[in-house]
Amino acid sequence: MSSSRTYSLEEINSLSTEEFTSLFSNIIENCLEVSYQVSLKRPFIKINEVENVFNDYLNQLDNNGKENILNKHPQLKGKINKEELTTESRKEQELVEINSIAESQKLELMKLNELYLKKFSFPFIICVRDNNVLSILSAIKTRLENSKDVELNNGIEEVKKISKFRITDLLTKDNSIEDK
């Protein structure tokens, strides 16, 4: 994805399947298959339809599918490694100033991520745009107490939040074909 411009619904509806798939490839991190499936649901009349179709895809997944989606996301490490992150994830982590957190917080985050990954076999996912470092640390501690099924669902709900922001970033505001 990583486009610096926004698109109208008319523009995304007129894209080829390949262009659409490429443009929306990181709405859900590194998931070309999802953006391809969403492209087949066009034309869209309203922006929220785009979000709804991405969410519908996530909602129909079985536990293995959910786990695969979550495993495509990077861990929050307390330090941005550009080689490991998509442009979207890097920008989102920069918003939380992940590189600027205290060394003690970085160590705590790394330790908690390790515990989380060991317990659930997928990384801790949280929409950083809705959080700050303290709320992220608090959330991971709380969520470590959950069952794997609960965390699969929590992780997918966080992916939906991330996706909503990414769709909003990509599409022109107040955009509806019906309004024209």
Q: How far apart are CA 51 and CA 136, in angstroms?
A: 24
Q: How far apart are CA 87 and CA 26, in angstroms?
A: 9
Question: For residue 60, what is the DSSP state?
Answer: T
Choose among 71, 73, 41, 74: nearest CA to 56: 41
Q: How far apart are CA 144 and CA 161, in angstroms?
A: 20
Give yes or no: 113 in active site: no
Length of the chain (residues): 180
- Name the catalytic one among 73, 143, 164, 166: 73
Q: How far apart are CA 157 and CA 145, in angstroms?
A: 17
Active site residues: 73
